[in-house]
Amino acid sequence: MENFYAIIPAGGVGTRLWPLSRAAAPKFLHDLTGSGSTLIRSTYDRLTPLAGDRIMVVTGAVHRQAVCKQLPELQARNLVLENEPKDSGAAIGLAAAILHHRDPDTIMGSFAADQVVGPLEVFLAAVREAVHTAATGKIVTIGIRPTLPSTGFGYIRAGERLSVKDAPSATSVIEFVEKPQEDVARTYLASGEYFWNAGMFVAPTSLMLKHLEMNQPALYSGLQEIAKAWDTPARDKVFERVWPRLPTIAIDYAVAEPAAATGDVAMIPGVFTWDDVGDFAAIGRLNPADENTALTVLGNGARVYSDQASGVVVTDSQRIIALIGIDDVVVVDTPDALLVTTEQHAQLVKQAVESLKASGEVDVL
């Protein structure tokens, strides 16, 4: 484990959680579980038992102050700032390239900043197995055992069991599958062969970069140029010149899927609970409703009256919100925007954000 380095990509806006999550304050900066800890703080703490201070955060330059405030112990050399988003391929690829230049024997593990995981020891055991499997020359993903036929997640099809010392549950990966229709998702669940793709990847940096070079040579060469200059005075100049012209692509398409086709991907089944907090329905799942009201309420000093109502209320205002005779409602009340929808339609919030952006209402985004 001494060669293990954790990477936390902290990007994206979380548009399905608007108006709580904004471009200037994305969801990983919020406490969405009522634990008193933000998502990125929880992610960092979760990885510390395995990586210690060997944790690198990749985030937008506009979030530097907030991230440093929430993670004061994060070393300056381990903070990678993007001046514009380029998706996970560039973010994770750059972290891999920087770490590889520092130590070519590094085994990296990438874990998104906005996921909720538990219990801790079960998660840590899975990561340990992933590191041992990666050391045999594999890109390893941790697949989440599905509990329902979700159409909101991609899937991983597991293959035969591998013989890896200290990783008894390791399997090969046959393929990655895009988000399915519900009937297909039900067959996946019934087969027992498919796992949710949580975007957790553990791999030798050398192998990650090898597949990046094979499948995305332009992205690879640009990231290598930046990484070579990263710990030198030329960093800013090189970064500003190279980063804007890099291809925008997810790490799944740039590395994981093509690597699986060559037999270079393995999987560790994750039997811990996992949620990517993808919408307000997820917040309802993660924050049980009060026994007396059937309503989940988040917000300091929230003033909510309910009668025969259920759902989720998130508020940072002091005005009274009264809900009467309405089921599975979602109300998000902020000083400059009010959202009212249902848990069933929570995924459609993203479309509202896109429409507001198209109409020029960017001041509330």
Nearest-angstrom CA–CA distance, 160 and 162 = 6
Nearest-angstrom CA–CA distance, 184 and 162 = 27
> 48: number of CA atoms within 13 Å, CB side?
10
Average pLDDT over residues 96-117: 97
- Phi first, then psi: give them for residue 123, nearest 5 degrees: -60, -45
* Cis, peptide link before residue 180, omega less than 30° from 0: no
Asked if pLDDT for residue 12 goes beyond 80, the answer is no
Average pLDDT over residues 291-311: 85
pLDDT at 107: 98
For residue 338, give the amino acid letter: L
Asked if pLDDT for residue 14 goes beyond 80, the answer is no
Asked if pLDDT for residue 300 goes beyond 70, the answer is yes
pLDDT at 292: 62
pLDDT at 284: 84
pLDDT at 152: 82
Region at 14 (left for phi over 0; alpha for psi -120 to 50; beta for the rest): left
Distances (CA, A) of 168 to 128, 142, 269: 11, 14, 10
pLDDT at 293: 73
CB 40 within 8 A of CB 29: yes
Nearest-angstrom CA–CA distance, 23 and 19 = 10
Q: Percent of the chain having pLDDT more than 90?
A: 74
CB 41 within 8 A of CB 30: no
Tokens of 197: 């793709």
Nearest-angstrom CA–CA distance, 201 and 153 = 16
**Mean pLDDT, the chain, as a whole number?**
93
Give the pLDDT band (50/70/90) at residue 35.
confident
Render pLDDT for 173-227 as a digit per residue (tens, 0 to 9): 999 998 899 999 999 999 999 999 999 999 999 999 999 999 999 999 999 999 9
pLDDT at 256: 94
Asked if pLDDT for residue 42 goes beyond 90, the answer is yes
pLDDT at 36: 85
Asked if pLDDT for residue 110 goes beyond 90, the answer is yes
CB 202 within 8 A of CB 108: yes
Average pLDDT over residues 105-131: 96
pLDDT at 289: 67
Render pLDDT for 351-365 as a digit per residue (tens, 0 to 9): 988 899 899 988 888
pLDDT at 290: 65
Nearest-angstrom CA–CA distance, 241 and 233 = 14
